[in-house]
Amino acid sequence: MVVVMTPDATDEDVQRVVDKVTAVGGEAFVSKGLTRTIIGLVGDIDSFHGLNLRTLPGVGDVQRISDPFKLVSRQHHPERSTVWVGAPGQQVPIGPDTFTFIAGPCAVESAQQTLEAVEMARAAGAVMMRGGAYKPRTSPYAFQGLGVKGLEILASVREATGMPVVTEVVDARDVAVVAEHADMLQIGTRNMANFGLLQAVGQAGKPVLLKRGMTATIEEWLMAAEYIAQRGNLDVVLCERGIRTFEPATRNTLDISAVPIVQSKSHLPVIVDPSHAAGVKDLVVPLSRAAIAVGADGVIVDVHPHPEEALCDGPQALLGADLRSLAQAVRQLPPTVGRVDAGTARR
Amino acid sequence: MVVVMTPDATDEDVQRVVDKVTAVGGEAFVSKGLTRTIIGLVGDIDSFHGLNLRTLPGVGDVQRISDPFKLVSRQHHPERSTVWVGAPGQQVPIGPDTFTFIAGPCAVESAQQTLEAVEMARAAGAVMMRGGAYKPRTSPYAFQGLGVKGLEILASVREATGMPVVTEVVDARDVAVVAEHADMLQIGTRNMANFGLLQAVGQAGKPVLLKRGMTATIEEWLMAAEYIAQRGNLDVVLCERGIRTFEPATRNTLDISAVPIVQSKSHLPVIVDPSHAAGVKDLVVPLSRAAIAVGADGVIVDVHPHPEEALCDGPQALLGADLRSLAQAVRQLPPTVGRVDAGTARR
Amino acid sequence: MVVVMTPDATDEDVQRVVDKVTAVGGEAFVSKGLTRTIIGLVGDIDSFHGLNLRTLPGVGDVQRISDPFKLVSRQHHPERSTVWVGAPGQQVPIGPDTFTFIAGPCAVESAQQTLEAVEMARAAGAVMMRGGAYKPRTSPYAFQGLGVKGLEILASVREATGMPVVTEVVDARDVAVVAEHADMLQIGTRNMANFGLLQAVGQAGKPVLLKRGMTATIEEWLMAAEYIAQRGNLDVVLCERGIRTFEPATRNTLDISAVPIVQSKSHLPVIVDPSHAAGVKDLVVPLSRAAIAVGADGVIVDVHPHPEEALCDGPQALLGADLRSLAQAVRQLPPTVGRVDAGTARR
Amino acid sequence: MVVVMTPDATDEDVQRVVDKVTAVGGEAFVSKGLTRTIIGLVGDIDSFHGLNLRTLPGVGDVQRISDPFKLVSRQHHPERSTVWVGAPGQQVPIGPDTFTFIAGPCAVESAQQTLEAVEMARAAGAVMMRGGAYKPRTSPYAFQGLGVKGLEILASVREATGMPVVTEVVDARDVAVVAEHADMLQIGTRNMANFGLLQAVGQAGKPVLLKRGMTATIEEWLMAAEYIAQRGNLDVVLCERGIRTFEPATRNTLDISAVPIVQSKSHLPVIVDPSHAAGVKDLVVPLSRAAIAVGADGVIVDVHPHPEEALCDGPQALLGADLRSLAQAVRQLPPTVGRVDAGTARR
């Protein structure tokens, strides 16, 4: 940490900081400038936080130098991790050597719709299925998902197709039942900072797909992963899904740069959800291509056999020619960035 | 709702929309322009949502005209509401005729610190106390609050001072115990879209202080209030606390315009939290003055007897001269906007 | 400045930085941490910029500590400045002791409309007039202003009313003619980073009203003021007019916190334009009240005798009851923050 | 356009709107809803703007339905355009069938540095060169470019290499001299809304590279292109270069979705500048890959033979292994999206 003193700080003010830091076992290096003095702190950063240096007289600012996350940081874990999802024999990898294509309906509406959507997804090359049983909706009057019945449908479709299931959990009280039915627990964008829920999935014994909060910085997102990891679960896959900006042409702005940045700061895999970022199906294929080319470890997209009947996010669901386009991109592009189809690496 | 057709939409495309709308009992008025046709829909808007009009061929866009919230809307409830907080005899109003000054420590750290902070607050004119027993923190390594012990301290300080207590609840599983100890339940900025928690506090039988999500539009914030109201609880007070923008000079950008906008769209009271928006104490007094002058129904600020020992947000806690300045503003400004001190209106 | 080395930086990497810094006459203080080394630089910051330290091996980041502006900084000029606008005998102050109410039409459309608007403004207490002769418009098909004829109208209305004129200049080639007719040159939000224009007005011999870029940080805004000051003109008044955020309920989000922040960092006066931030007239009065209470040195608002005939921004122009409300606020609130009406301080 | 009446609008209010619209030759279709009436307007939209409908009693909102740009719209020009840059025999296309790789130094510092950088660029596959002679800088104390001398260096390097030159113009007074030396005039992000400059380059007789304002919506960006087109110049290439958001990990957030959106709304070509969006060289190669895969018509990147000596933006300049990586991507990826190297299509 670096403590920046105000221009009018006195020698006593500087000494007070030095004394506080050394009292907890740290070292303080003073650089006296013409207009400002700065103090470099060396030692255990957690002990410095308790000092409340920012409230001391003469202190203008305190700047953190190191990343605040530890378990998910790449600093002490230089090799990028692979997370395996599914039952033995059907396990699909998400990691640096493969490309994992995940697809399915936004919401589980019925057994038939789910099965049809997943069959479409599989035909296009998907190796994992998605589908929501619990839907957090902006309006209390909108469809909120089938709940446990939706989970049962997902489990039966997995039975029929052999594809591992990722599904969202929105309430800590539901974590056990979701973990019982699904292979991977998704934390949605609205719950990225729901710390009780993060801790609950950290103890559920299943891999977690952690979507970025639509307004979260990359650092906050990695801190949310740290919450899960701290409860003993390092099988966390991050998912970029767009951030909130001033641009109204898309529902959210896909932050494609987040992929290489996350990969440089953390060892965790990172995938992209182009469907929810764009909000319209016409952008899903080009954004998926961009995601593969930028080096994402996978994509997760919405498909629906009858978008005009969808109970949730119909306008962004792929089918027909668009889905064939995506299938082609998923076959063609990953090898150009040195990756193989995750389906060929099942174990 | 208005359906905007694409420039190349055919007559059949237009007719298909009209047929769908009339099939569910609505009316469709077609305006055929030179390059585009638009269709105005009249009838029950909820029935239109199920039509998925946006996915039909030839449909370019579907624009909502009415506000999506109902119970909290001012449209059918033109008189602005007053919410009463506290036990009979100590009840404090928050509403259009009064100005309610709420203050206390960011976090409850000990019985003594809390009592000292609340006494400071009372001396400055506060009529309600705040204090956090459950603290959602970005880092899993930061102080997370005293939990139930913190609630007990808050209850004992209320005993000593007669001031109603507002405190945050971060997990649906804690709603019952928090409602037992506190007079008002606070939903923090990170949980504004935690719909399970909103529904839980909607059934808890206590007034709710709903902070704006730091990335929520005003409409989404009012929809979150609708979630609470829909469970039968209309005693909701909204709290503007800053939104996330590109400007780094403040922790968040206080959206002062939100106050009159909320007051024109909703009958619910709205207050301002300048401490969390600013993140530094020097801005708290000027922003509080701005909040009173813009017409807020109250402010909620952090005070601490010893900011340099605070376990949470010390740099933004007021004391000494700043607190006296605030006390003066709270006495002087509300009458200029036609309001009396809420303390004089207790019942 | 502080140089933050990467975790894998070698001793040679550190020494290279130290050598470069000392070679240009600076001092480098090394703080060796457990995972990272930081180097505090002391000396002439401009000479460090040429070193390109960020491109050296082992350098992770270079953080600036001091503000990059000098002439407009409050650091070496602790007393806040007053800028005087207008001809001797009619000069109006904008500064820390007064409150300056500026009003007039958004655009000059005709001599009569301008005179009527300015008379309305004067009756409401305004002491300076605004009015645009050159209008930068998003659409090339929208009204672009009357140009020189508009300037002549403004000059004639000043003749009639004795009120100094502020008007916008949008092109460096027009600076001379605008300076000839107006008392103060306005740089609009879209031109805040038009450095050639800033330099031109810096040499024009008239005070400048510098609006904040709708997407500019406070620091960038002060750097734009520095561009003007560097050409010898320190008579610069800053104007907060809203920033671009994700919130669609207002045209821009008025960043009310910018007022006290600017006042702490710079000695220049700062006023608020609530009309362009809000975009609708209903918000202009409450936001003006907030601006006065937060401590702004003035406000600038749009008025129009017949908003329904306005060629530009009619929906935000005040008249009638709203204007009377504003007049009342301008009389009543400045004394509560220790200010007198600028009109009483003319010289 | 659609006029949305307020819930309390009277029949007279509705009739007043209808009368105003029909008086200028338009048609008004009234849809009377339960709580609100909406009126669809058909006819010449420009004539409606003058009506100031938003200021009429009972009018709640006026929503535009059509895009406000015309000449650059794809609506009346469905085929995507190709812009040719350079002297006959050296002309390079930018358009839908090719991929155009543009590279060079951020700033022209000397003849040798420019030539070395351009030779590096050419060896990596670039077919056009970039280089700044006029540099708009946030600080008045930073290097502002060599001006005319820089233009002469660019012209001599073009002589030596046969590569067309694109360079920025920042002031309308410099347009003639820049057009004399360069093959394409660049409008930088800070000047996207400098309408006088846009009009000047619209008349200069050379193709224009129009960077997106870092805070401009896509619609505003296309309106800026319309300003140029309206002066008779349709040879405009758009350049996405990142927008300002809350995320601090990149200088700006590259809005990759803007590429397919622009291509659907406008017939103009669109390229991507990953260097200025990212601000650091490590992201340039992955973002360039993403740009090619998403379907951009080209990329423009910074290279420098000695980044540690660069006078501007050294940290983002490519060289060595990174540049070889980019060269490989530029060879390998365009064919996967059906494009050929623009160099093979010279004329």
Point out the residue among B2, B7, B30 whose CB comes nearest to the CB of D2. B2
Averaged pLDDT for residues C146-160: 96
Residue B55 located in a structural domain: yes
The closest alpha carbon to B41, from B3, B92, B75, B85, belongs to B3
The identity of residue B146, as a single letter, is L
pLDDT band, very low/low/confident/very high, at D236 (cuts 50, 70, 90): very high
Residue B77 located in a structural domain: no
pLDDT band, very low/low/confident/very high, at D330 (cuts 50, 70, 90): very high
Residue D75 located in a structural domain: no
Looking at the fold, whether D121 and D254 belong to one and the same domain comes out as yes
* Residue C46 vs residues A33, C29, C54, C74, D142: alpha-carbon distances, Å: 14, 18, 15, 19, 9
The closest alpha carbon to C332, from A61, B337, B284, belongs to B337
Cβ of residue C258 closer than 8 Å to a chain B Cβ? yes
- The neighbours of chain D, by the rule of 3 or more Cβ pairs under 8 Å, are A, B, C
pLDDT at B318: 84
Q: Work out the mean pLDDT of chain D and round it to a whole number.
A: 92
CA–CA gap between residue D91 and residue A331 (Å, rounded): 36
On chain D, the residues whose CB falls within 8 A of the CB of B43 are 33-34
User: DSSP class of residue A80?
Assistant: P
- Percent above pLDDT 90 for chain B: 69
- Percent above pLDDT 90 for chain A: 69
Give the range with max mean pLDDT: A1-15, A231-245, D306-320: A231-245
Q: Do B66 and D35 touch (CB under 8 A)?
A: yes
Interface test with D, best of C195, C227, C282 (most D CBs within 10 A): C195
Q: Do D46 and C141 touch (CB under 8 A)?
A: yes
Tokens of B39: 């269709």
Tokens of A25: 């076992």
- The neighbours of chain A, by the rule of 3 or more Cβ pairs under 8 Å, are B, C, D
Q: Name the pairing type of β-strands A298-302 and A98-104.
A: parallel
The closest alpha carbon to C53, from C26, C18, C100, belongs to C18
CA–CA gap between residue B213 and residue B215 (Å, rounded): 5
Q: Do C215 and D244 touch (CB under 8 A)?
A: yes
The 3-state DSSP class for residue A114 equals helix
CB C317 within 8 A of CB C309: no
The identity of residue D157, as a single letter, is V
Of A97-106, A202-211, D45-54, give the lowest mean pLDDT range.
Answer: D45-54
Query: C50 pLDDT exceeds 80?
Result: no
Cβ of residue B61 closer than 8 Å to a chain A Cβ? no
Looking at the fold, whether C335 and C228 belong to one and the same domain comes out as yes
Query: B67 pLDDT exceeds 90?
Result: no
pLDDT at B166: 98
Cβ of residue A254 closer than 8 Å to a chain D Cβ? yes
pLDDT at B51: 81
Nearest CA in chain B to D3: B65
Averaged pLDDT for residues D272-283: 91
Residue C93 located in a structural domain: yes
The interface predicted TM-score of the complex, written ipTM, equals 0.92
pLDDT band, very low/low/confident/very high, at B50 (cuts 50, 70, 90): confident
Averaged pLDDT for residues B251-255: 96
pLDDT at A281: 87
Looking at the fold, whether B219 and B339 belong to one and the same domain comes out as yes
On chain C, the residues whose CB falls within 8 A of the CB of D196 are 170-171, 173
Tokens of A205: 């014994």
pLDDT at B66: 75
A71-123 pLDDT per residue, tens: 999 988 999 999 999 999 999 999 999 999 999 999 999 999 999 999 999 99
pLDDT at D29: 86
pLDDT band, very low/low/confident/very high, at D219 (cuts 50, 70, 90): very high
C219-239 pLDDT per residue, tens: 999 999 999 999 999 999 999
Q: Using CA of residue B278, residue B280, residue B286, residue B291, what is the dihedral sign? A: positive
CATH number of the domain within which D24 lies: 3.30.70.1140
Tokens of A251: 């529902």
Point out the residue among D55, D309, D317 whose CB comes nearest to the CB of C314. D55
Averaged pLDDT for residues B132-148: 83
Looking at the fold, whether B210 and B129 belong to one and the same domain comes out as yes
Averaged pLDDT for residues D276-285: 90
D79-112 pLDDT per residue, tens: 999 999 999 999 999 999 999 999 999 999 999 9
Averaged pLDDT for residues D266-280: 94
On chain B, the residues whose CB falls within 8 A of the CB of C254 are 256-257
Interface test with C, best of D282, D308, D316, D322 (most C CBs within 10 A): D308
On chain A, the residues whose CB falls within 8 A of the CB of B67 are none
Domain extent, residue A313, equals: 83-345
Looking at the fold, whether D112 and D50 belong to one and the same domain comes out as no
On chain C, the residues whose CB falls within 8 A of the CB of D191 are 193-194
Query: B316 pLDDT exceeds 90?
Result: no
The identity of residue B282, as a single letter, is D
pLDDT at D35: 73
On chain B, the residues whose CB falls within 8 A of the CB of D63 are 2, 63
B210-219 pLDDT per residue, tens: 999 998 999 9
Looking at the fold, whether D173 and D317 belong to one and the same domain comes out as yes
Point out the residue among B249, B278, B293 whose CB comes nearest to the CB of C293. B293
Looking at the fold, whether B184 and B146 belong to one and the same domain comes out as yes
- The helix (run of H) or strand (run of E) holding residue A102 is strand A98-104
pLDDT band, very low/low/confident/very high, at C45 (cuts 50, 70, 90): confident
Query: C139 pLDDT exceeds 80?
Result: no
Cβ of residue B258 closer than 8 Å to a chain C Cβ? yes
Q: Do C40 and A34 touch (CB under 8 A)?
A: no
Looking at the fold, whether D177 and D38 belong to one and the same domain comes out as no
Q: Work out the mean pLDDT of chain A and round it to a whole number.
A: 92
pLDDT band, very low/low/confident/very high, at C346 (cuts 50, 70, 90): very high
D185-210 pLDDT per residue, tens: 999 999 999 988 999 999 999 999 99
pLDDT band, very low/low/confident/very high, at A221 (cuts 50, 70, 90): very high
Cβ of residue A244 closer than 8 Å to a chain B Cβ? yes
Cβ of residue C38 closer than 8 Å to a chain A Cβ? yes
pLDDT at C71: 93
pLDDT band, very low/low/confident/very high, at B90 (cuts 50, 70, 90): very high
pLDDT at D53: 87
The 3-state DSSP class for residue A20 equals helix
CB C254 within 8 A of CB C242: yes
Point out the residue among C7, C42, C244 whose CB comes nearest to the CB of A31. C42
On chain B, the residues whose CB falls within 8 A of the CB of A49 are 142
C301-334 pLDDT per residue, tens: 999 988 888 777 777 788 888 899 999 999 999 9
Give strand pairing partners of D68: none
Q: Work out the mean pLDDT of chain C and round it to a whole number.
A: 92
pLDDT at D338: 94
Query: B314 pLDDT exceeds 80?
Result: no
Of A269-273, B79-83, D132-136, give the lowest mean pLDDT range.
Answer: D132-136
Interface test with D, best of A243, A247, A266, A326 (most D CBs within 10 A): A247
pLDDT at B75: 85
Query: B88 pLDDT exceeds 90?
Result: yes
Looking at the fold, whether D34 and D138 belong to one and the same domain comes out as no
pLDDT at A306: 87
Residue C70 located in a structural domain: no
Tokens of D172: 């309308």
CA–CA gap between residue A324 and residue A326 (Å, rounded): 5
Query: C31 pLDDT exceeds 80?
Result: yes
On chain C, the residues whose CB falls within 8 A of the CB of B286 are 259-260, 293-295
Which has the higher per-residue pLDDT, B168 or C311? B168
Q: Work out the mean pLDDT of chain B and round it to a whole number.
A: 92
Query: A333 pLDDT exceeds 80?
Result: yes
CATH number of the domain within which C111 lies: 3.20.20.70
Distance from CA of C151 to the nearest CA of B (A): 33
Q: Do B40 and D38 touch (CB under 8 A)?
A: yes
Residue D73 located in a structural domain: no
Looking at the fold, whether C212 and C266 belong to one and the same domain comes out as yes
CB C229 within 8 A of CB C220: no
* Residue A41 vs residues A32, B309, C10, C58: alpha-carbon distances, Å: 14, 19, 20, 20
Point out the residue among C171, C193, C314 whose CB comes nearest to the CB of D196. C171
Q: Do C261 and B243 touch (CB under 8 A)?
A: no
Looking at the fold, whether C31 and C101 belong to one and the same domain comes out as no
pLDDT at D38: 85
Query: D268 pLDDT exceeds 90?
Result: yes
Averaged pLDDT for residues B1-22: 90
On chain D, the residues whose CB falls within 8 A of the CB of A255 are 245, 247, 253
Query: D126 pLDDT exceeds 90?
Result: yes
Looking at the fold, whether D89 and D208 belong to one and the same domain comes out as yes
Query: B48 pLDDT exceeds 90?
Result: no
D325-329: long-range pairs with CB below 8 Å, 24+: D325/D285, D326/D124, D326/D284, D326/D285, D326/D288, D326/D301, D327/D123, D327/D124, D327/D125, D329/D285, D329/D288, D329/D289, D329/D292
Cβ of residue B31 closer than 8 Å to a chain D Cβ? yes
Residue B75 located in a structural domain: no
Q: Do D215 and A294 touch (CB under 8 A)?
A: no
Distance from CA of A342 to the nearest CA of B (A): 32
Cβ of residue D30 closer than 8 Å to a chain B Cβ? yes
Secondary structure in 3-state letters for A21-71? HHHCCCEEEEEECCCCEEEEEECCHHHHHCCCHHHCCCEEEEECCCCCCCC
pLDDT at C253: 97
Interface test with A, best of C8, C29, C31, C41 (most A CBs within 10 A): C31
Number of domains in chain D: 2
Averaged pLDDT for residues C57-83: 88
Query: C174 pLDDT exceeds 90?
Result: yes
Q: Do B40 and D43 touch (CB under 8 A)?
A: no
Residue A73 located in a structural domain: no
Q: Do D41 and B31 touch (CB under 8 A)?
A: yes
Nearest CA in chain D to B75: D7
Cβ of residue C63 closer than 8 Å to a chain B Cβ? no
pLDDT band, very low/low/confident/very high, at B339 (cuts 50, 70, 90): very high
CA–CA gap between residue A21 and residue B35 (Å, rounded): 70
